[in-house]
Chains A and B, each alone.
Chain A
Amino acid sequence: MTARPGPHARLTGGLLLWYGVLGGAAAWAVHLIAAWSLDELACAAKSERIAGVPLWQALSVAVFVPGVATVGSLLVATLVLRRTGQARAAGAHDRALERSRMLAVVGVWANLLFLTIIALGGVAVLVFPPCQG
């Protein structure tokens, strides 16, 4: 922990922060486009299967994978919150620290929102028959 991170670790860390902030949003976008178009296209073709897989299973994948990605993003945002909190408690006061901390707060709440949206979509997959008009 005391060693100074190299340029690769810094770049990874910088990108990791953005994953923590916007990961949930990106996952939700993928979820929405995938689930919507799978459902529309399969039903428009009057079929409840996609390439042999039952439609509801394909839709579950389109819920589950983005859901996991959002949980990952949430964990990263929490990690940034903890690390910056520890650094602040240790007496560090620097703009980059405060900026990352604010972005992490935004990330935690944003990920909770997007996780809720994706989970509601998952409930809908379980409740509705896929092609009921």
Chain B
Amino acid sequence: MTDRGGVVAAATGVEALTTEEPVGRPTGWWGMVMFVATEATLFACLLGSYFYLRFQHGPVWPPDGIDKPKLLIPLVMTGVLVPSSLPVVWAEHGIRRGQRWRLRAGLAATLVMGLSFMALLVIEYREDLTHFTMTTNVYGSLFYVITGFHGLHVSVGLAMIGWLLAASLRGGSFGSHRHERVRNAAIYWHFVDTVWVAILFTIYLSPRL
């Protein structure tokens, strides 16, 4: 059955085609996935509005003599936030085997990385605010509202991570039989990370294209 024809035949046989998929997901997982889906649509609307307003605006973008966004801090922010999903994954795999120390260590690492991201966002804002604000023009509105809205989501994600950490430090909360909340918070955190990549492209990279 290792040749290609055999594999195709097996995957298109009636037994494979009637396989139940998706299957066996808990209600909490579905709830979080649907919540993330609606949140992702929200960000899609915001980023779509960015491109719509940009292309309706005219050739010069950013307008009114505002410089193109600098890339150094955002790239460092990316370097901090995107890898912060890894400790969560590691922690989640740990608690599935009942290893509480891995849960605590992984969550703490993610918490530190997420807080660093927020600190960098504040530094970035302090620099930008000397040049333009939310009320300067539509570019300023888009810039601060989109990055700020994402920052709000990172804060919510951090609240979830901190909450999980507090519950796991108390003890008696999570173990190999009870880790649904860890998994759901992890899904949310991965989502917040992924959205950042889209924002990096839209806000910081696309004006340079």
Task: Report whether A17 and B56 are in contact in the complex, using a CB–CB cutoff of 8 Å.
Answer: no
Q: Chain A nearest CB: distance from B17 CB in Å?
A: 5
Task: Report whether A3 and B1 are in contact in the complex, using a CB–CB cutoff of 8 Å.
Answer: yes
- Please give, as numbers and ranges, the residues of chain B lying within 8 Å of A41 by CB-CB distance: 55
Task: Report whether A84 and B21 are in contact in the complex, using a CB–CB cutoff of 8 Å.
Answer: no
CB interface residues, A 37-68, toward B, < 8 Å? 40-41, 44-45
Given contacts A1-B9, A3-B10, A5-B10, whether A80 and B17 have CB atoms under 8 Å apart is yes
Task: Report whether B21 and A15 are in contact in the complex, using a CB–CB cutoff of 8 Å.
Answer: yes
Task: Report whether A84 and B14 are in contact in the complex, using a CB–CB cutoff of 8 Å.
Answer: yes
Given contacts A9-B7, A44-B56, whether A1 and B13 have CB atoms under 8 Å apart is yes
- Please give, as numbers and ranges, the residues of chain B lying within 8 Å of A92 by CB-CB distance: 14
CB interface residues, A 82-133, toward B, < 8 Å? 83-84, 86-87, 92, 94, 96-97, 99-100
Given contacts A44-B55, A44-B56, whether A79 and B16 have CB atoms under 8 Å apart is no
- Please give, as numbers and ranges, the residues of chain A lying within 8 Å of B55 by CB-CB distance: 40-41, 44-45
Q: Count of A-B contacts with CB under 8 A? A: 78
Task: Report whether A11 and B14 are in contact in the complex, using a CB–CB cutoff of 8 Å.
Answer: no
- Please give, as numbers and ranges, the residues of chain B lying within 8 Å of A83 by CB-CB distance: 12-14, 17
Q: Which residue of B lies closest to A87 (CB)?
A: B14
Q: How many residues of A contact B (CB 8 A)?
A: 32
A39→B9 CA distance, assembly (Å): 42
Query: Is A16 engaged at the interface, CB distance under 8 Å to the other chain?
Result: yes
- Please give, as numbers and ranges, the residues of chain A lying within 8 Å of B16 by CB-CB distance: 5, 9-10, 12-14, 16
Chain B residues packing against A (C-beta within 8 Å): 1, 6-7, 9-21, 55-56
- Known A1-B13, A99-B18, A100-B18; further 5 A-B contacts with Cβ < 8 A: A5-B10, A5-B11, A9-B7, A13-B18, A83-B14
Q: Which 6 pairs of residues, A with B, have the shortest CB-CB distance?
A: A13-B16, A14-B21, A9-B10, A14-B19, A12-B11, A5-B10
